[in-house]
Copies of this chain bind each other. A is one copy, B any other.
Amino acid sequence: MKRGVGVGVIGYGTIGAGVVRLLRQRVKAHGDRLGFPVRLARVADLDTSSDRGIKLPTGVLIDDARALIDDPSVNVVVELVGGVEPARTFILEALRAGKHVVTANKALLSEHGVALSREAEKRGLLLGFEASVGGGIPIVRTIKESLAGDTNEEVYGILNGTANYILSAMSEGEGEFEEVLARAQAMGLAEADPSYDVDGIDSVHKLVILVGLAFGKKIKARSVHVEGIRSVSSKEIAYAREFGYRVKLLAVARDTPAGVEARVHPSMVPESHLLAQVSGAYNAVCIKGRALGNSVYYGQGAGMMPTATAVLGDILEAARSLRDERPPSSEPWGQPLARLSSARVIPMGDTAHEHYLRLTVVDKPGALARISSILADEGIGIATLSQHEIETRGAVPVVLRTYRSAESAMKRALARVGRLRDNRAKPVLLRVEEGLGGRE
């Protein structure tokens, strides 16, 4: 293994081009740093003709991923295709061919992460996925290695830059969801099909990965409760500010004796919490450990160069393994796979929250009494209630915050309130996150 490291990149899109750029710009620096040369050997993409603004030597860019995997000059394969297939097959084939693998593919990892890791672990190979969560934030290695001595109790944060960008812009008065989304799309900050980002699916994938790393628990993405931000209006953002809160799309997981609490939905975060200060396309991950207490990791959650930096960190780890002819410094999930256990996700109905509720009711005596009596009947205590000025003819907004109450009770109450004739619009429900980081 004297020749150094040959890197093969499958998928020459935005991130792929960033990785190629970093590898080529700093090829000498990396080699010097490691005392072992690292070079770009092959790039594979079905599209070999588009101009990425990078001049590759003839023969480096090919259209056949399998030829890249089989190429003996490639000993680290970087998968940046995205999606489940053929990415999964590429990774398996690369590992079976004895090559280290680096990927940024959270959708794949949240579903097949354990199976793929089995293949890597069996062969003493790296399966690096630093770039899959938090873009440029080095959260994966931090949990795997630095926090390995502690028992993690909570992991939560802002995991999707697009959704956070939209909520931040709405918070700055730049319009309602649809308008801000359209502008973000025009600026290339949101995909043509934004559903992964704005409906919370991307955050769920990342949360599943974080739960595996932080708690050593395997949970299924489909059992994570998810609500996106399409229904958040600037009204909620304004009321939240009035109460001293910001509206953020949070992904929250807690390890409890009853199972893992894991959920993704818009939340009201107190202004004094660091997460309230995370704006634009930035991400932040918070971890609460029994010994360490609270720690926060903040940085660019997406984007070409930040994500490419995370990929490169993994490539360099593979390079150190190859240089020293040893397995990677830690297993893909920070511990032997046999130590990971499958865990139940606590159904959303069985969790409890402080709730924010905005109702639009008829401006007649008795409406408020009927609503209050339903809440009382379901055992939900009202902490604050404010009736605002008439909005539209005869309809008045009522904004209330509850004490901590069962999600199932709130769901039943909402159904009953929804059937009242007093309603003039669909009630809006958000959870208030007072307890994050053990603040309760």
Contact = CB atoms under 8 A, between A and B. Distances in A.
A300 B309 contact: no
B298 A296 contact: yes
B26 A313 contact: no
B299 A136 contact: no
B298 A151 contact: no
Interface in A22-75: 22, 26, 29-30, 32-35
A297 B146 CA distance: 13
A18 B18 CA distance: 43
Nearest to A32: B339
A149 B292 contact: no
A305 interface: yes
A11 interface: no
Interface string A370-399: 000000000000000000000000000000
A185 interface: no
Specify which of A138, A315, A334 lies most central, judged by the most chain B CB atoms within 10 Å of its CB. Answer: A138
**Size range of the interface on A?**
35 or more
A329 interface: yes
Contacts of A146: 130, 138, 141-142, 310, 313
Interface in A290-310: 291-300, 303, 305-306, 308-310
A35 B317 contact: no
Interface stretch (A91-99, A194-202, A219-227, A319-327): A319-327
Contacts of A326: 324, 326
A184 to B, nearest CB: 19
A113 B251 CA distance: 40
A291 B313 contact: no
Contact of A316 (B141, B148, B296, B303): B148
A274 interface: yes
Contacts of A418: none
Interface in A116-154: 130, 136-138, 141-142, 145-151
Given A142-B142, A294-B300, A324-B326, A313 B147 contact: yes
B291 A295 contact: no
A292 B274 contact: no
A306 B292 contact: yes
Given A33-B339, A310-B146, A313-B147, A295 B289 contact: no
Given A141-B145, A145-B316, A148-B312, 6 more contacts: A18-B291, A30-B149, A137-B295, A146-B310, A291-B306, A326-B326
Interface of A: 18, 22, 26, 29-30, 32-35, 130, 136-138, 141-142, 145-151, 272, 274, 277, 289, 291-300, 303, 305-306, 308-313, 315-317, 320, 324, 326-330, 334-336, 339
7 cross-chain pairs, A with B, having the tightest CB-CB distances, nearest first: A149-B312, A138-B146, A329-B329, A295-B299, A291-B305, A296-B298, A326-B326
